[in-house]
Structures are given as structure tokens and as C-alpha cells.
Amino acid sequence: SAVISQKPSRDICQRGTSLTIQCQVDSQVTMMFWYRQQPGQSLTLIATANQGSEATYESGFVIDKFPISRPNLTFSTLTVSNMSPEDSSIYLCSVEGQGSTDTQYFGPGTRLTVL
Amino acid sequence: DAKTTQPPSMDCAEGRAANLPCNHSTISGNEYVYWYRQIHSQGPQYIIHGLKNNETNEMASLIITEDRKSSTLILPHATLRDTAVYYCIAESGYSTLTFGKGTMLLVSP
């Protein structure tokens, strides 16, 4: 399985500011994803990070609020823009395993608190 | 993706087998059953998946009924470190996972 790291592991931010979260994988992967987990809730897919093209967003998530970059096959960033307290969540990236039937492996997550 | 139904919580004594049920009565022929777990404050961890046959790996066993409408994840000798939320997902293979509320498994001494 892939080894995935995320930076930062946690942050406390002021409303109206933006935070960029980095996701690094130790091997090249085709599919990378970003999820959000609000307090006490399950995971919700934000978008699929596509290498070389714009990310594919799920219903309810827009590029202006959650811009995503995917410059290569091992790295992606998610920015949470113009934050409000409702953005306080854990943000997780995941990758699809090589040669598997869509098994996904998750990073440790970034815990964001917006004041 | 087929909807899955799991009990919200279960208890298990340490050392005993934990049997976590999942109902997926609307599963289609090309959908796999995946199990993940999330230990508190960590990212989800892949456990096992299967299509029709029972599967076993170093973590768990997956028993899928013949009609594929339900399955059971078995942790043969539960430890305190197995306390986590367990998610059962029926997924067709288009690379997105839909997480439900899962089952909170509490393993007690």
C-alpha cells in the first residue's frame, strides 16, 4: 500500500483566511481524492484531483471555495478559501492502489479549526 | 452505488471474535463489498473487500451470503486496538467511495 503524508497535521485559522493542505504519496498514483469529515460525521468526497487537468468536484463543492492542484502523480494540494467556522473539519486525501479494484488508501488527515 | 445498512454500535470482549454485519440488499452484480475502519483521529484504513467469494487476509475475514445481499466482517480475536468505526461500502468500481455512518465497535477488557 502507498504511504501518504499530509501537511499540516492540524491548524487553527481565523475566519476569512485561506489554508492550503498538501498531500504527498511515496509512489506514482493515477487517482487522488480529497474528503472532508465534519465533527461527528462520516466522510464526504470533495473532489477527484486529476493530473494535468481540472479537478472533478462533487455536488455541493465548488472550485472557488476548494481549489485543487495536481502538478504530478505524487502530489496534490487542497486550499480551503475564505474560511468560516463551518469549514472546521478533518480534511483527508486518499489514493487508489495500483492494480487493485479501487481500494483506496488514506492519509492521516488535517484537522482544521476556524475561529 | 448500493446503499448499505449497519448497526450503529456493537460491543465485543477482548479476545473474542467480533462479527460486524452489513446489509446491502440492492447490490448490483458488478459491485464489490469493501470494509474500512477509522480509529479515532486517524484516516480510514482499508481492511478487506470481496465480490462473491469469502475472503480472508491478515486482518479479517469477509463472509458474503450467496445472494450477496448481506455480508459479515469477522475479526477473529478482537483487541482493544480494534476499537474503531467500521464502514461497509458497496462500490461499483468507478473510483469513488460513499461512506455511511458505519458501526462503532467497542472492544472491552
How does pLDDT run across A71-112, given as a tens digit for each residue?
Answer: 999 999 999 999 999 999 999 999 987 665 668 899 999 999
* Residues in chain B within 8 Å Cβ distance of A94: 43-44
Q: How far is A60 from chain B (nearest CA, A)?
A: 15
Give the closest of B45, B94, B99 to A42, CB-based. Answer: B99
pLDDT of residue A99: 62
Smallest CA-to-CA distance from A87 within A58, A64, A66 is with A66
What sign for the dihedral angle of Cα A66, A61, A43, A81?
Answer: positive
B29 band by pLDDT with thresholds 50, 70 and 90:
confident
Residues forming beta bridges with residue B37, ordered by sequence position: B45, B86
Rounded average pLDDT over A50-71: 93
**B1 pLDDT above the threshold of 80:** no
Relative to beta strand A75-80, strand A68-72 is antiparallel
* Residue of chain B nearest A46, judged by CA positions: B96
Assigned C-alpha cell, B23: 446489509
Contact assessment for residue A57 and residue A63, using Cβ atoms and an 8 Å cutoff: yes
Distances A20 to A10, A110, B19, B76, B91 between C-alpha atoms, Å: 12, 10, 40, 41, 30
Give the closest of B34, B42, B101 to A42, CB-based. Answer: B101
CB contact under 8 A, B93 and A31: no
Assigned C-alpha cell, A12: 487553527
* Residue of chain B nearest A90, judged by CA positions: B41
pLDDT of residue A101: 60
Q: Among residues of chain B, what percentage have pLDDT more than 70?
A: 96
Whole-angstrom Cα distance, residue A17 to residue A28? 32
